[in-house]
Structure 1
């Protein structure tokens, strides 16, 4: 089967090589990435990966707050989208973790009943008490998450992998433009359960099976310094959404350790090094430069004692969210 991954990016220089390396490793033959307005070596990294044939990369012009939707419409025109058997859209802070034996996208599909949508619940990872931007991989730095059983009783956001012969394009959480009759729609979740086996509402659902076959690891806050920079940049698809104290408090889950993806860190690092070698040593150098740039930008925000971002950082330090949450 052919699997295609779609994403949008802006100023994701520190993590984008890790993200691409991992998702190529688990079986996405094609990764389509749309980037806009980055100035942290994201463009340079993506251009090299494109020239190496590892990804399809395009610049994404759009009105503020519309970049994600515009990118999904543009991606649907690409041959790699139309020719795929399965498509998934993720953000750069989301990693698909396949828990089915084998750990690849193919293993996930093989474990599923017949369907044309797979609702993959988030598992939200918090900052784990980290305060500064690390050189380490995202997946090994942040290993504290929401309680494993929480998804059984709480409606939790999901992303959807889908058959592009049944829908015209990606949506933020669900595919858009249904092409098949309603009686042909077959939906299951990340435990392989049919739609009538769990409660669902809009872009959120429960999962009685607790993500038995797959989950989306969502590193939504990261460390306190990265969160401050995220607040400074704003939301990719909701231009007016505040990324503030309330956002940190509500989304910073650190209730239970989850090492499933961290266990693959060495394999991800090996894949990153292979890509770097094929690039002539440029990719890891760009990653290092991006990390240093993000650190310096954070330091610049902190130098202004009157800035709201300094206050936000202080709040994050004083409220690390390490208590168990229900």
Structure 2
């Protein structure tokens, strides 16, 4: 069983659960840049936890704390059992997905479609709470399809809170279950931050965090300053992790972890251990492609890792070659500046 960490106020900033992205390698890398932000697993279905390879689905490094497990499902019994199993892994929080709009999730009657069934969500979280010694939280939308968020969202919060949940992460967009792809559902429905702010005012006893459209630390701080308890950042934290995570611990009045170069260097022993256990370099470095976004040489860094990390036998020499692209670009830039003087 993993030792859980002190998670007081860890919800002030978190990295969203993202399918195929926030696996354990991604989370380990992100943790090097921030000691305090909460990290979330990819969504795992309750059924998979019950019947699938538990170690592969639930294992993670103790260095990832604070870390939350996100579950998907709509059967209270299954969710309760999955939470009971996950207890042995020592997650700091377990979250129920009531926000994903994908067809695959809808067909299983979970994710955003559950916004239409708040009483069922209440039954689900009650079963989860009964089997958990860590907080059970809910990530939801402001509504789906033709629902009126002004009416539906407060009713949803009230119903689910009555079952014992005190912490909600609200993606401040509707989900359109018909007609929009999951990608379009992240971009097309308009954001309504004001509604989420009104929910915090209406339910001051609840921990209300916001998700959707946040791409910078300054933006996150602005939302916190307006009274929200936390901000969850999604794709921006993946595509440009240094911009979002390096310096993030200042939100807690603390020094952050490694800077961007320090984080890359600190990945070396982790990469070597992964390869020694039969893993492939690209399984880790695919999560590092965007870490130098906006810097000279970033394109070369991405190119080397994309082209060479998946080749048989690829190791740290590929990382060194990618770093050399940054060094060459920096040297070239210095030479140009000196010539211009």
Decide: shared fold, TM above 0.5. Answer: no
Structure with the bigger percentage of strand: 1
Structure with the bigger percentage of helix: 2
Q: Which has the larger radius of gyration?
A: 2
Give the TM-score of the pair, scaled to structure 1.
0.30
